Structure 1
Amino acid sequence: MVTTSADNNNEATTQTTSNPKYDRQIELKAFDETKAGVKGLVDSGITEIPRIFHRPNDHHYEDSSQVSSTTASVPVIDLQGVVNGDKAKREEIIKRVGEASESWGFFQIINHGIPDRVLEEIKDGVRGFYEQDVEVKKEYYTRDISKPFVYNSNFDLYVSPCVNWRDSFMSSVAPDPPSPQDLPPVCRDILFEYSKQMMKLGIVLLELLSEALGLDPNHLSSIGCAEGLYILGHYYPPCPQPELTMGTTKHSDNDFITLLLQDHIGGLQILNHNKWIDVPPLPGALVINIGDILQIQKC
């Protein structure tokens, strides 16, 4: 799963959704029908963000006990021993993966075997898609998740309390990969290459997680956990009023495992022991997120 993220976690300072003249559903529909996303708003030169993006001041989005922390850091695990076939180092890596998964639910990996060239090209491909002409992008804009390539702004646009300052695309690339003509030319080749790299690395991670759980290395793969792969590409344009909104609100991933590639901007935070922890981007690193399904599987 790929994202290029720059989240903003400042508290909203204004509440305007109680205005009786404000019809939220009409504004949501008008925004959706432009098919231009948040990037379209920025390109139009707005200086004030629409009210649908204002983040409510309530406990669901802000908790005074959940203060930002800079004293802790997400574990960074070097996979060089696994890539090189070093059995002694592999045992240590398995132990660290297990500890990080249980105590954090997150860890970063380095020396994972994916060439830096591929990581840079996928970031360029994601950015290239969003920065192309809006009329080209509109051809892919849809809320039909059965499509091979889905581009829109906020998958939960009509049900979320506030809209995230973010555009996204999604493609299911396994077990049934899309046809080349179904993917945008600007990022087609790198999406296929990146998908292959992610599948290979995903199987390695499932082996490590299986062993960390005291199971056979092939256990998670043998029960179908390695069969599906979705790729997501997020885009967070500059915001004229960042104090009023967020790029991505508090959530958990409803998948098995997420492999997240950050860009250089950063902004990602995770909640650990009731504290928000920054996850600064490391060159060549991937952030691993234990998803909801894997947590259920462990139970």
Structure 2
Amino acid sequence: MEKLISNWSNVQSVPENYIFPLETRPGEDLNIPVNNNIPIIDLNEAQNGDRDHTIQQIIKAAQEFGFFQVLNHGISKNEMKETMSIFKEVFEMRYEYKKNLYLDDDLKTCKIFTSSLRYESEKVHLWRDSLRHPSHPLEQWIHLWPENPMRYRECVGDFSIKIKELGSRILDLISKGIGLKCGYFENDLAGSMITSINHYPPCPEPSLTLGLPKHKDAYLITILMQDDVSGLQVLKDGNWINVEPLTHAFVINIGHVLEIISKGKLKSAEHRAVTNSTYSRTSAAFFIAPSDDCLIEPAQDLPDDNNQPALRSFKYKEFLKQFFDTNGDTDLLLKPFEVPNN
């Protein structure tokens, strides 16, 4: 519990084991200008007769950035505000409440932890605390969620159902856009959802450390709800771009599994989270993913790209284990799945 950064007080400098190597720390990249080129897509158009235009926007954004923001998504401002407020409250709770959620064994499905799930073995720690739990199918997991704050299960449960519905709508638009049949991502292929709430307290020396290092997501898509503090950065053409929080918007990014299924037609972009010295930042990521035993492979209905290696089918849990064993190194990740030429 003493490791939780949200429990610290009067921190004057970044501890040595939180300082990133010079080549990976953010440095002056903290001050990069806000980039307004991250596409903003109005989902109302898809419901009001211009579905094809919305699909084209999504596919273009997924190919060029791997990221886009959506408005008019069907979840109200009040619902977003209330849910974010409850998420923030988790990290402000008294010691005895957080203690019950703190990671003390690998079997816990709902846990608070600091930095990463591999804190003891990592070389450099991340400037974040996190609450993580499965959230779909809801009836399977909700009884394991926090009992405090008191409205957590009710509020986050309702919100999770709507997020999963939004994810299904977006995946339907994506499947049509890349030439897959309607409903391709139903059932086991999008059979689970993980909720990950990240809390980044103010950092005395934000140029030295990171809330999250450069990485891709090991899922189909991520639906991210930000508060009003910036910190998300996306790598585009070798440069970091700030994704500024947009009122009543969700950030959507393409996961590495979807890049594989689409045969590289869609891009899973590298991204990271930086900190600041003045404000805490909280974000909630909803990872829509296959079920553990679901077979993952490039979609057979899509034409082959001669530049893509042939890959065998593999269970999602096999992919996920290797993803985290290699710290998300996607170049290493796919080598074991390549089919020999002879």
Shorter-chain TM-score: which interval? 0.7 to 0.9
How many residues align? The count is 259
CA shift for structure 1 position 145: 4.7
TM-score normalised by structure 1 residue count:
0.80
Unaligned 5+ runs, structure 2: 264-342
CA shift for structure 1 position 279: 0.6
Aligned to 1:78: 42
Contact 1:206 1:220 (C-alpha < 8 Å) held by counterparts: yes
Contact 1:174 1:227 (C-alpha < 8 Å) held by counterparts: yes
Partner amino acid for 1:184? E
Partner amino acid for 1:259? I
CA shift for structure 1 position 110: 0.5
Contact 1:152 1:167 (C-alpha < 8 Å) held by counterparts: yes
Helix, strand or coil: the match of 1:92?
A: helix
Q: 2:10 matched to 1:48? A: no
Aligned to 2:122: 160
Q: 2:88 matched to 1:127? A: yes
Q: 2:81 matched to 1:116? A: no
The whole-number CA distance in structure 1 between the counterparts of 2:230 and 2:35 is: 18
Higher strand proportion, which one? 2
Identity of aligned residues (%): 29
CA shift for structure 1 position 61: 4.7
CA shift for structure 1 position 297: 0.8
The whole-number CA distance in structure 1 between the counterparts of 2:75 and 2:146 is: 22
The whole-number CA distance in structure 1 between the counterparts of 2:208 and 2:26 is: 13
Contact 1:140 1:149 (C-alpha < 8 Å) held by counterparts: yes
Q: 2:145 matched to 1:178? A: no
Q: 2:165 matched to 1:204? A: no
The root-mean-square deviation of aligned C-alpha atoms, in Å, is: 2.3
Helix, strand or coil: the match of 1:253?
A: coil
The whole-number CA distance in structure 1 between the counterparts of 2:233 and 2:127 is: 16
Aligned to 2:199: 235
- With 272-281 and 243-252 compared, the bigger mean Cα shift is at 243-252
Unaligned 5+ runs, structure 1: 1-33
- Name the CA shift for 1:142/1:110 in 2 (closer, same or farther; >3 Å): same
Partner amino acid for 1:178? W
- Name the CA shift for 1:234/1:70 in 2 (closer, same or farther; >3 Å): closer
Higher relative contact order (CA 8 A, sep 6+): 1
Helix, strand or coil: the match of 1:178?
A: helix
TM-score normalised by structure 2 residue count:
0.70
